[in-house]
């Protein structure tokens, strides 16, 4: 087994035979969050980051350079769910920053708190509706460096735009996971990705990339954009 450093702090590749496994350095040794594997290595305990379970891991495998994570001190995460992806972002930023994790579903939030928050100090759970950013405006220490949006709702683009305008710094990064079927199940996903990216452009975002998440997630894409203010 060979461990290969990346340009992202606390993110590694584990090479095992002809297999290449994405991993983050586990901030909470011995603890797993979604049945991911743990590896004892010379750089510490590494936690597998599964692209079929996390859209952010999927885009890394599809070639997106997430080096901007090294400088992120404040991150706003919309649709944190039970915390699969945010647990890896938490490993990456460790004590350099904080992640605000917004989730609307009460049971999901409770599971998130029990599973992830109870072990990690760099995530602040926010039990709110991401459609109403004014309700958590006083809690979030903004401007944030990055907005991550994965809410799978018909108005997901509006939610991403609204929160970015409320909290994101000028030149800040947006990672917005689009679920095409939540917007229109009858339309070709690629058409939806183009239309939603256009809406963002009109609202002052520079689209840096649109990554189709196949084969990890069907009918999903990640819009990688910069907020021009
Ligand atoms: C696809 S899941 C997110 C998966 C998660 N991002 C991950 O990778 O680990 C979408 C989540 O968004 C939440 N959600 C949907 N609408 C929301 C809203 N208006 N405000 C906050 N959370 C919302 C859902 O309850 C659900 O947990």
Span 106-131, pLDDT tens digits: 999 999 999 999 999 999 999 999 99
Distance, CA 79 to ligand 1 centroid (Å)? 3
Q: Which atom of ligand 1 is nearest to the CA of 53?
A: 8
**210 and 223 in contact (C-beta within 8 Å)?**
yes
Q: Which atom of ligand 1 is nearest to the CA of 55?
A: 8
List the structure tokens of 105.
């579903």
**What residues does each domain of the chain span?**
2-49, 56-227
Rounded CA separation 175/128 (Å)? 20
**161 and 200 in contact (C-beta within 8 Å)?**
yes
The CB density around residue 16, as the number of other CB atoms within 10 Å, is 10
What was the pLDDT predicted at 68?
98
Rounded CA separation 171/209 (Å)? 15
Distance, CA 127 to ligand 1 centroid (Å)? 11
Q: Determine the CATH number of domain 56-227.
A: 3.40.50.150
In CATH, what class is 2-49? alpha beta
pLDDT tens track for 94-105? 999 999 999 999
Around 2, how many Cα atoms within 13 Å sit in the side-chain half-sphere?
Answer: 7
Distance, CA 227 to ligand 1 centroid (Å)? 22
pLDDT tens track for 186-205? 999 999 999 999 999 999 99
Ligand 1: residue whose CA is nearest its atom 16: 151
Confidence of residue 159 (pLDDT cuts 50, 70, 90): very high
Residue to mutate (ligand 1; options 36, 53, 55, 104; most atoms within 8 A of CB): 104
Residue 151 has pLDDT above 90, yes or no: yes
* Distance set, CA 127 to CA 58, 79, 105 (Å): 26, 10, 8
Positive or negative torsion for Cα 66, 70, 76, 77:
positive
**Is 129 close to ligand 1, i.e. is its CB under 6 Å away?**
yes
The whole model's pTM is what? 0.97
Mean pLDDT (whole number) for 61-87: 98
Mean pLDDT (whole number) for 200-227: 98
Residue 152 zone, left/alpha/beta (φ > 0; ψ -120 to 50; rest): left
What was the pLDDT predicted at 229?
84
Rounded CA separation 75/142 (Å)? 9
| Nearest C-alpha neighbor of 223 from the set 79, 63, 59 | 59
- In the block, tokens 């944030």 appear at 144
Question: Which ranges constitute the DSSP H helices of the chain?
Answer: 55-61, 84-93, 106-115, 156-167, 180-183, 189-202
**Is 50 close to ligand 1, i.e. is its CB under 6 Å away?**
no
**149 and 175 in contact (C-beta within 8 Å)?**
yes
**Is 87 close to ligand 1, i.e. is its CB under 6 Å away?**
no
pLDDT tens track for 29-71? 999 999 999 999 999 999 999 999 999 999 999 999 999 999 9
If you average pLDDT over every residue of the chain, what do you get?
97
**Is 131 close to ligand 1, i.e. is its CB under 6 Å away?**
yes
Distance, CA 81 to ligand 1 centroid (Å)? 5
Strand extents, DSSP E, the chain? 2-5, 11-16, 19-25, 38-41, 44-48, 74-78, 98-103, 123-127, 144-149, 168-179, 205-212, 220-227
């Amino acid at each position: 087994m060979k461990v290969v450093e990346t340009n992202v702090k606390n993110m590694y590749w584990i090479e095992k035979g002809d297999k290449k496994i994405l991993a983050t350095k586990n901030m909470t040794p011995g603890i797993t969050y979604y049945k991911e594997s743990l590896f004892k290595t010379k750089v510490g305990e590494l936690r597998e980051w599964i692209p079929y379970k996390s859209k952010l891991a999927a885009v890394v495998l599809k070639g997106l350079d997430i080096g901007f994570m090294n400088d992120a001190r404040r991150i706003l995460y919309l649709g944190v769910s039970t915390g699969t992806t945010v647990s890896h972002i938490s490993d990456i930023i460790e004590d350099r920053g904080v992640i605000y994790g917004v989730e609307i579903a009460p049971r999901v939030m409770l599971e998130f708190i029990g599973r992830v928050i109870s072990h990690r100090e760099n995530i602040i759970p926010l039990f709110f509706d991401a459609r109403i950013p004014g309700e958590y405006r006083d809690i979030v220490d903004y401007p944030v460096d990055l907005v991550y949006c994965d809410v799978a709702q018909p108005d997901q683009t509006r939610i991403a735009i609204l929160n970015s305008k409320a909290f994101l710094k000028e030149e800040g990064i947006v990672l917005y996971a689009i679920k095409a079927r939540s917007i229109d199940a009858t339309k070709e996903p690629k058409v939806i990705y183009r239309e939603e990216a256009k809406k963002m452009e009109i609202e002052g975002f520079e689209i840096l990339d649109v990554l189709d998440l196949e084969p990890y997630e069907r009918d999903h894409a990640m819009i990688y954009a910069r907020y021009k203010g």
